[in-house]
Amino acid sequence: MKSDVLIIRIAFVGFLAVLAYLINPLERTQRFGLSLVGDQTFRHFFSAFLGIIVGLFIIAFEMRVRRASLKTLIGAAIGSILGIIGAFLIGVLISIQKESAVSAEMQTFLTISLAFFMGYVGLMVGAAKGDYLDLSALGGIFSDKSVKRDYKILDTSVIIDGRIADVSETGFLGGTLIIPNFILAELQQVADSADSSKRQRGRRGLDMLQRLRNNSKLDVQILETDFPSIKEVDLKLIELGKQMDAVIVTNDFNLNKVSQLRGVSVLNINELANALKPVVLPGEAMRVFVLKEGKEYNQGVAYLDDGTMVVVDNARRLIGKTADISVTSVLQTTAGKMIFGRLWEEKSGGDDHTDTNMGVHDSRSLGFRKATRELRQTTIIEELDG
């Protein structure tokens, strides 16, 4: 698209140059020092040069007008037309004056000056006040629907993490995924590292990129834009986000904060994962596997399938075993959620609390759901209030 526009602009300037060369508007003029030049060939080439200058000015004006909104253009057009009409009426009043009062040269000068002045003032005022126009009253004939491209720039950390591929394949992440060339270079550098762990992470990132590009439903683009004057990759991402008005997708906490301070929008995969964790309310029952000892006295620590930490009071003796607990509170932190609970002392039917055959992170088994339905709700409330 950009190459086509460039070709059209070059052809337009060339057309004006050839037209000016053939017509030669400076053939008889004595201005610009041409009175000393009698060679018509020189005047032809000078006319062509003038045509090139005029064409460049027209293209510069066109590039500026393309960035203006439809309301601004309509306001500027109406303002300039009204200004020219006003200048014409004032010019009529000047022209009917007797030559003894206003000389012919002064009348010409005032008429031309007023036309430029009123036209310019009308153009600028109309463009400034164009935002007050209500285009919806015209029934949608003039609709200023500027399509904003939805760009999302992928960070190195989020590519290596890999969850971005799963989220994209579900269709929840739309728009165009941008992968800058300097991110590819950083991934390749990590994949070629002498450290085996870094090398494995880099290769995983390259595999994730290949997975994204193989998905026909995703629009993935490799961008060659670079900023040689900027050394840090994070700052390059922020600068690219500003230029493209794009969103940076990352799971880097520091990049998240710096981008927000610099006015660049960020999508944090970790925040998305925390938001999608199941809601747990106080009083809810669950079955967990007590994995290790907690920081406080006699505490046990368990983890749910999504990695949420569960701190259980008086569960130190149950380390390495499953336990039925009642949730007492839920704490939301920047790192995620933390669930606090205590052992469920009353059980009906003599269920085995230490059934080691159950899955490690099984907090919603059918058997336990059936058992909890048989418990009295009044006992739960009394224990939690106590």
CATH topology identical between 151-274 and 285-385: no
pLDDT, tens only, 74-126: 888 888 898 888 888 888 887 777 666 667 777 777 888 888 888 888 888 88
Q: Which of 306-310, 335-339, 370-374 has the lowest mean pLDDT?
A: 370-374
pLDDT of residue 368: 46
The fraction of the chain above a pLDDT of 70, given in percent, is 78
Q: What is the mean pLDDT of residues 41-61?
A: 83
Burial class (CB in 10 A: 0-12, 13-18, 19+), 205: buried
Helix or strand run (H / E) with residue 151: strand 151-154
Distance CA 166, CA 299 (A): 36
Give, in words, the CATH class of 151-274. Answer: alpha beta
pLDDT of residue 316: 86
pLDDT of residue 225: 83
Length of the chain equals 386
Domain ranges of the chain: 1-67, 69-143, 151-274, 285-385
Distance CA 312, CA 294 (A): 8
Second CATH level (architecture) for the domain 285-385: Beta Barrel (2.40)
Helix, coil or strand: residue 309: strand
pLDDT of residue 248: 92
Q: Which residues contact 312 (CB under 8 A, 6 or more apart)?
A: 288, 290, 294, 299, 300, 301, 302, 318, 323, 325, 340, 341, 342, 343
Instruction: Name the pLDDT band for 329 (thresholds 50, 70, 90).
Output: confident
Instruction: Name the pLDDT band for 271 (thresholds 50, 70, 90).
Output: confident
